[in-house]
Amino acid sequence: MDLARKTVNTIKGLSMDAVQKANSGHPGMPMGCADMAYVLWSRFLKHDPADPTWADRDRFILSAGHGSMLLYSLLHLWDYRDESGEAAVSLDDIKDFRQWGSKTPGHPEYGHTAGVETTTGPLGQGFAMGVGMALAERYLRNRFGADVCDHNVYAIVSDGDLMEGVAAEAASLAGTLKLGKIVYLYDDNSITIDGSTDLSFTEDRSARFESYGWHTQIVDGHDHAQIAAAIEAARAETDKPSLICCRTRIGDGSPNKEGKSASHGAPLGVDEIVLTKTRLGMDPEKSFDVPADVLAHVREVAAARTELREAWETNLSLHPKRGHWELWHADPDVDGVEWPEFEVGGKIATRKASHAALNAAALGVPQLLGGSADLAGSNGSMLKGVDGISGDDFSGRNLFFGVREHAMAAMCNGMVLHGGMRPYCATFLVFHDYMRPSVRLSALMNQPVVYVYTHDSIYLGEDGPTHQPVETLMAMRTVPNLVTIRPCDGKETVGAWKAALRRNDGPTALSLTRQGLPTLEGSSIEGVEKGAYVLAEATGDHAVTLLATGSEVELAMRSREALQADGIGTRVVSFPSWELFEAQDADYKASVMGTAPRVSIEAGRTFGWKQYAQVCVGHDDFGASAPASVLMEKFGFTVDNVVAQARSLL
């Protein structure tokens, strides 16, 4: 048996054994994809396992994340190392597959295991994030030159990936942008969990991607020569992303489960593993066997890989653009930005204030770029004085995502994971639901994407309940590590952008108004970064506190005037961010909240506000189509109603 076949069988054996020991997992995909993965990693992948974060490495994404044992086997065999120099995935880690605290969780997790480029498992996400990575590579190559940035984005994608809408969205845009550095190997095995793909997936996938503007090929996914030739051809096609349809057999090598859905999501079973190893020419008595000659084979070029990376580092150290490259890969200098100022009493929609803040930030944060899901004018997401990015010109900074919210968010994840980019993206708040899975992954992976959401309440008015996000803010607040900020005026909007760009351990969502809001006396940029602060103190005895966000802070201030006129001492707290407030110490939180009874005011669901207030002014049903002023009256966002609710506590 030659070493190539022996290595492929070793990958299959580790995958079978780990899933069997865990009594949980997906052996079929790693067994079916072992050939294509071996060819890619042994002949083409530009990487240095000694430094998995090398900036000019090729990116490899296992979009079919359920087959995680394939990736863990590769990381172990190729001797990937973490920051401390320890093995990223040891044989003991593989034996600990899917167990508490192990480096080998059920699906690959970014930041948890060295060598894992992105968290995958939700199908389609890895596909779309890879498009974002390729966009980042093309963008940086355009600015710094191919001697600094020149690498490919490879992925193994599955039937499930290609079925998901997020992949279709991203594939369409990848073709439009001519992202020729994408080379995706499609595990075309004709099997899903429910059975044959004939049940639900019958179109010509190659023709579909060709219509997107992709370069497509169809090969035998177990023939190393065909796979290698296809990858060579894909790499030679520089103006089109490439999809290589690899016809494979799920569970390849298993006498009784090969080509069947039975090998997809459950262990093969002890007896079947013995039969499989015997059929493959392996020792059926050995588990987790990694022959010494296999290790020597895959690691023989380790020194050459390290030399390639060191040569790149030497080149960068002497490069005239080194300083700019390092600036682009550093945290943004938020305090060095000349932020816009807003006069008290002036009126501006927070979406327009955001546009001013964004453009100011762009001057001081060169790695900031982004765009909108076909709503740039409405969202205020366009950078002034710079061009848009197109397939023929990557010199601009404005991205046109089209009506593709889900892929937009996923691509932003890919861009920030790639490095050298601080992306933002924008749409109406109600369409967050289209992007929720990708936003969730931003939070899970601790990636600082900025999500700009405008038209943030029922005050959108005549467009009606389909466009009025009554529940969306509260839904976002339930996502761990997602910071939501709803500023009340121009000054707080600047504070929101500062907080978002200062953050490097998770995403931030800005909730912005369509309607104009007055710049309030006492509103604070610094207060936003604390999540909540006292905007107006009670005059006289402190009898009641009004907590409000966004457009309702101005209503709280007018209600305070009425209450104070009646001798009721009223404090107003501007409360732009629950998450930032909860990060403050207990003394600060107590000083803001005080001991008086509290009323919350927010034009949306009241669910959740009971942790802060005894009475909640909000709207727990869908909106309606009518002018905003009518909706305010009908739904109780009036001074009279707020005063009445405050009085009910006294």
Residues with a catalytic annotation lie at 405
DSSP conformational letter for 304:
H
Residues in contact with 189: Cβ distance below 8 Å, sequence separation at least 6, in sequence order:
32, 159, 221, 247, 248, 249, 250, 259
The DSSP-derived string for 516-578 is EEEPPTT--HHHHTTS-EEEEPPSSSEEEEEEE-TTHHHHHHHHHHHHHHTT-EEEEEE---H
Q: For tokens 């999500």, what's the residue?
A: 451
Enumerate the β-bridge partners of residue 376.
Answer: none
Q: What is the dihedral of CA 17, 18, 24, 25, to 10 degrees?
A: -100
Q: For tokens 């995680």, what's the residue?
A: 68
In angstroms, the CA 135 to CA 562 distance is: 54
| 549 contacts 517 by C-beta, under 8 angstroms | no
| 350 contacts 490 by C-beta, under 8 angstroms | yes
Residues in contact with 341: Cβ distance below 8 Å, sequence separation at least 6, in sequence order:
none
Enumerate the β-bridge partners of residue 400.
Answer: 372
The dihedral through the CA atoms of 561, 566, 567, 571 has a sign that is negative
Residues in contact with 72: Cβ distance below 8 Å, sequence separation at least 6, in sequence order:
14, 18, 89, 93, 94, 97, 104, 113
- Ramachandran sector of residue 464 (left: φ over 0; alpha: ψ -120 to 50; beta: rest): left
Residues in contact with 411: Cβ distance below 8 Å, sequence separation at least 6, in sequence order:
128, 129, 131, 132, 135, 170, 173, 401, 423
Half-sphere exposure (CA, 13 Å, Cβ side) for 638?
11
In angstroms, the CA 617 to CA 507 distance is: 28
In angstroms, the CA 441 to CA 443 distance is: 5
| 446 contacts 111 by C-beta, under 8 angstroms | yes
Enumerate the β-bridge partners of residue 390.
Answer: 393
In angstroms, the CA 232 to CA 422 distance is: 32
Tokens of 294: 């296999």
Strands 191-192 and 195-196: antiparallel
Enumerate the β-bridge partners of residue 599.
Answer: 546, 615
Q: Of 26, 306, 382, whose CA–CA distance to 187 is shortest?
A: 26
Tokens of 23: 């009594």
Q: Which helix (H) or strand (E) segment is 493 a member of?
A: helix 490-502
Half-sphere exposure (CA, 13 Å, Cβ side) for 2?
3
DSSP conformational letter for 369:
E
